Amino acid sequence: MSDRFRVTLAQFNPTVGDLEGNAALAHKAWQAGREAGANLVALPEMFITGYNTQDLVMKPAFHQAAIARIEELARECADGPALAIGGPALEGAGLYNAYYILKGGSVTACVLKHHLPNETVFDEVRIYSSAPVGGPYAVDGVRIGSPICEDSWHEDVPETLAETGAEFLLVPNGSPYYRGKMDTRINLMVSRVIETGLPLIYLNLVGAQDDQVFDGGTFALNPGGALALQMPVMQEAISHVDLQRTPEGWRIAPGELAHIPDLYEQDYHAMVLSLRDYMRKTGFSKVLLGLSGGIDSAIVATIATDALGADNVRCVMLPSEYTSQASLDDAQTLAENLGCRYDFVPISEGRAAITNTLAPLFEGTEPDLTEENIQSRLRGLLLMALSNKFGEMLLTTGNKSEVAVGYATIYGDMAGGYNPIKDLYKTRVFDICRWRNGNHRDWMMGPAGSVIPDNIIQKPPSAELREDQKDSDSLPDYPVLDGILEILVDQDGSIADCVAAGFERADAKQVEHLLYISEYKRFQSAPGTRLSKKAFWLDRRYPIVNRWRDPGE
């Protein structure tokens, strides 16, 4: 009996629905493992289909094709190490989230998931059946337990695996990022190794799917909780992990410990990765955006440049008579700093034509928000025309504060295909801009240095749709607004909670009102990077028609 067992861990980036492409990645990992003398090559949860599949996996033609591709992969990888890969499984009338073990040309084991997450972005209870808790499987005489993702967040499955003979735990995951998730995972897995006394390998997906970012960060723990391996976050990687048999049982030999960046860097990297993958996986290569000279479009332009390279980013200034010279200068300086294409498209003539067209119908009325929104919608029309003509995806630039309270024009500045900062509150936008100006990493395709002009960060935010307009004319100051939104949205708190935190009741009621009446806008808004557990889309699902208001007494 061998006293060494090598596992090749493939922290790879699959694409939902691309069965052939995902199988090719699996084969690449298997080849690397075979060359390294691995006993087992492991891929994450639902790798063959990509993750999160949502309802796609319930389509019989799709899950049958995925199962058939796994069986074909087994034949292709017959001569070499075992291959572990996640995918759907059929058993009786049930569809399961499964983990397949392929060896010698066939499927030798199939682990079925027991605990099905049914919160935040997950709806697995309506998609999959829950399987009874199973036991370990054997590879080259070593018994391995694989609690699939959520199964490792509960005590019962790992403990049952340990009691039925598992010698170490290999946990395949499709665990999406939210701020602080890495600490949560490690703390939970430390609990599992302490409870079971077994070494544990936590293998996670990397890459983005729609709004969700899978941040990788695969790690391994020895009994007692000592960290034996840490793979990088947000990046594809392969690691070869050696387990050694000792008198006390199997132990993981110390491996590389990758640096875990701070939360500003993790957020920023998530936004870059999500945009890069959204473009690549939908078949787009170029983007454009309206560059206003404000901070939101500045950070989106910077994210886009870091994700795609300056040659693939078009910045368009669309000034009106209300656009300040400072905004004109700041926008051009930013584009030049980034090295992006910069187009200057005044909207005065188009706005005059629309105003003249509507004049007979608007006669006897006073200018109001309608005229302001015409400017925004005209800009949206022009940007969409450029998008159509040149095949460039239009990015929207509304931060979470604006998305929350509807401080955006539907069919205007909300027009577009993706919004990297959709889950980033305005106060954090400022922080992220300062972080990017002071930091550069090798995964950024944009230039190093202070690319965002200080004036953009320092000046009071304004939509510049009327003379001397400031955001604070319509909304509480952003530190107040964001503090209230953190309570109402991220904590699902009440008006009373806002008051207890020191905010004025009138401000809290105003924000609550705006939050609820803007639901119809969010329903029609572009997808964007998920950075928290309360991102607008799958994490927070409210009715559009809603007459309830918190009395807050």
**pLDDT tens column, 192-249:** 999 999 999 999 999 999 999 999 999 999 999 999 999 999 999 999 999 999 999 9
113 carries an active-site annotation? yes
366 carries an active-site annotation? no
Would you tell me how many other CB atoms lie within 10 Å of the CB of residue 343?
Answer: 15
The active-site residue, picked from 149, 340, 433, 498, is: 149
492, 342 in Cβ contact below 8 A?
Answer: no
Read off the pLDDT of each residue in 146-150 and give the average, rounded to a whole number: 97
The active-site residue, picked from 45, 159, 167, 392, is: 45
Task: Compute the chain's Rg from CA coordinates.
Answer: 26
Structure tokens at 77: 């990888």
Read off the pLDDT of each residue in 460-474 and give the average, rounded to a whole number: 73
149 carries an active-site annotation? yes
Asked if pLDDT for residue 19 goes beyond 90, the answer is yes
Asked if pLDDT for residue 285 goes beyond 70, the answer is yes
pLDDT computed for residue 345 by the predictor: 96
CA distance 282 to 275: 11
Dihedral sign computed on CA atoms, order 74, 76, 79, 85: negative
Task: Specify the residue for token string 């926008």.
Answer: 331
534, 490 in Cβ contact below 8 A?
Answer: yes
Give 466's pLDDT tier (boundaries 50, 70, 90): low
Which CATH architecture group holds 4-260? 4-Layer Sandwich (3.60)
Asked if pLDDT for residue 323 goes beyond 70, the answer is yes
pLDDT computed for residue 474 by the predictor: 78
Q: How far is CA 47 from CA 24, 44, 69, 143, in A?
A: 11, 6, 12, 22
CA distance 424 to 75: 46
pLDDT computed for residue 51 by the predictor: 96
CATH number of 264-523: 3.40.50.620
Burial letters 173-200, b for 16+ CB under 10 A, else e = bbbbbbeebbeebbeebbebbeebebbb
pLDDT computed for residue 553 by the predictor: 63
Q: What's the start-to-end Cα distance of the chain, in Å?
A: 71
pTM of the model as a whole: 0.96
Which part of the chain is CATH 3.40.50.620?
264-523
CA distance 389 to 335: 21
The active-site residue, picked from 77, 103, 113, 281, is: 113
Eight-state DSSP code of residue 545: S
pLDDT computed for residue 461 by the predictor: 79
Which part of the chain is CATH 3.60.110.10?
4-260
Average of per-residue pLDDT values in the chain: 96
Q: State phi, psi for 225 to the nearest 5 degrees.
A: 100, 5
Q: Among candidates 515, 537, 540, 510, which has minimal Cα distance to 526?
A: 537
Helices 348-362 and 369-390: crossing angle, nearest 10°? 130
Give 462's pLDDT tier (boundaries 50, 70, 90): confident
* Cα atoms in the 13 Å half-sphere on the side-chain side of 272: 25
Burial of 483 (0-12, 13-18, 19+ CB in 10 A): buried
Structure tokens at 284: 């787009």
